[in-house]
Structure 1
Amino acid sequence: MPSIHADHHYTHDADTVWHRIRGFGDLKSWLPGVTDCSVTGTGVGATRTVSMATGGQVIEELVAYDEASRRFSYRIVAAPGVREENRFVATVSVRPVDKGCRVTWQADFDAADTPPEKLEAARQGGEQMYRFCLSHLATLLDS
């Protein structure tokens, strides 16, 4: 199963960073390109509809949330270029490290019917986007 992985070290403590990103419906405050994010339901099973500046929408479902471990997982229900059978599930976690914390954002998905060259391009594009978003978060935290 292919995966996407990005992580970023922050000089801020884990609680500070976690409090900034833990809100399932709060993407607009830190994720670049998000113009709106609405949530239906609460807790695990809640869905969010994310509207992008490009005009696209992504619908995601919260599948796990652990406040104590500073970790949540979501699956993409609907998105441009992502099919339900891709079973795209991502996890974001914040853990303390020396002199700050590390945020890891990783995703696994099934792309059995995708040609290898397209799969690798999609994987690299996902990693690039995750790294950009985590770098943008660092800028917000430092301002």
Structure 2
Amino acid sequence: MASTTVTLDMPHSAGRIWQLIGGFGSLPDWLPYITDSRLSDGGRLRTLTNADGGVIVERLEAFDEATRTYRYSIAQAPFPVTGYLSTLRVIDLGPEGGRVEWSGTFTPDGTSDSEAIALFDGIYRDGLAALAGTLGT
């Protein structure tokens, strides 16, 4: 099993950051390469469409408003991994702002650990950079 974690400290309150990213269907609000998110199964399944028309289906595994955390798995995606489980969390840094932590564990399938790690590390880094841009950081 492989894993990666990317963090970004932001000069915004954890509450403000969570308000933007804490909804399971909110990716198009801050992630430009996800153009559509449709919730189903009582809000526990999201079907994402990217700018190229590709589809990714993810399942909400856990949600905790108090700790500003949610965990999700991939049900369907064109990624060379199995057993994908990711966590998105916002940590309160007090007057310094908030920290966003995006992490994932997975088993590479048809690719090396280092290639799979690089793929998700890049996705998380690009995603957090887009979030910073959306918030005007």
Would you say same fold, with TM above 0.5?
yes
Aligned-residue identity in percent: 35
Instruction: State the 4+ residue runs in structure 1 displaced beyond 4 angstroms.
Output: none
Q: Which amino acid aligns with 1:129?
A: I
- Residues 94-120 of structure 1: per-residue CA shift (max 9 Å, x gap): 011151111000000123x545xx331
Aligned to 1:96: 92
Aligned to 1:140: 134
Aligned to 2:120: 126
Structure 2: give runs of 5+ residues left out of the alignment: none
Alignment root-mean-square deviation, CA: 1.6
Q: What does residue range 69-84 of structure 1 map to in structure 2 within 5 Å?
A: 69-82=67-80
Larger strand share, 1 or 2: 2
**TM-score normalised per structure 1:** 0.88
Asked if 1 retains the 8 angstrom alpha-carbon contact of 2:10 and 2:97, the reply is yes
Asked if 1 retains the 8 angstrom alpha-carbon contact of 2:62 and 2:70, the reply is yes
Deviation at 1:14, TM superposition (A): 0.4
Aligned to 1:26: 26
Distance (Å, rounded) in 2 between the aligned partners of 1:42 and 1:31: 23
Deviation at 1:32, TM superposition (A): 2.0
Q: Which amino acid aligns with 1:50?
A: L
Deviation at 1:41, TM superposition (A): 2.7
Deviation at 1:82, TM superposition (A): 4.3
Aligned to 2:4: 4
Asked if 1 retains the 8 angstrom alpha-carbon contact of 2:13 and 2:97, the reply is yes
State the number of aligned residues: 136
